[in-house]
Amino acid sequence: MMNRSISRGSGTEAPHPDDWPDSPSPLNMNHYANKKSAAESMLDVALLMANASQLKAVLEQGSDFYLYIPIITLITISLCLQITVGVLLIFIVRWNLNDEQKHWRLNIMENLATGLVFIIVVVNVFITAFGVQRPNRGG
């Protein structure tokens, strides 16, 4: 067995941090997954607000804007996907990760949420590339 302590010059040995009596408890995977999903949900809400703002800007420009239909379509797709991811994250957080019978469902839902987030990012890259500008007022 390997000695995990460090030898000091005075002959005393410093214990390894894992041996300390006051060391933090082991990582609770359910708690960790819930925090991760909550953080992901907050990012989803931030993007949802940005898309709502972009939608408002496009609608203010009116149908005279030459990319009106494509941008409205892309923003609508992004908003629908974000709502879907939000609902998925709610279900993921509510299920207990420690229940091994639900691991395969949670895995599928996590993979689906990750795939949808990737699609949302790609759609938003196109929205940004088409350039949603607010109309100039009083110019």
The answer as to whether 110 is a domain residue is yes
118 pLDDT band, cuts 50/70/90, is very high
3-state secondary structure at position 10? coil
The answer as to whether 53 is a domain residue is yes
Beta carbons within 10 angstroms of residue 126's beta carbon: 13
The answer as to whether 68 is a domain residue is yes
Burial class from Cβ neighbours inside 10 Å (0-12, 13-18, 19+) for residue 88 reads buried
Give the chain's end-to-end CA distance (angstroms, integer): 79
> Which residues make beta-bridge pairs with 14?
6
The answer as to whether 20 is a domain residue is no
**Nearest 5°: phi and psi at 6?**
-100, 135
- Percentage of the chain surpassing pLDDT 70? 68
Q: What is the pTM of this model?
A: 0.67
Q: In terms of pLDDT, which residue wins out, 67 or 138?
A: 67
Residue 133, pLDDT > 80, answer no
Q: Quote the number of domains for the chain.
A: 1
> What domain range is 74 assigned to?
36-130
The answer as to whether 78 is a domain residue is yes
Query: CA neighbours within 13 Å on the CB side: how many for 134?
Result: 7
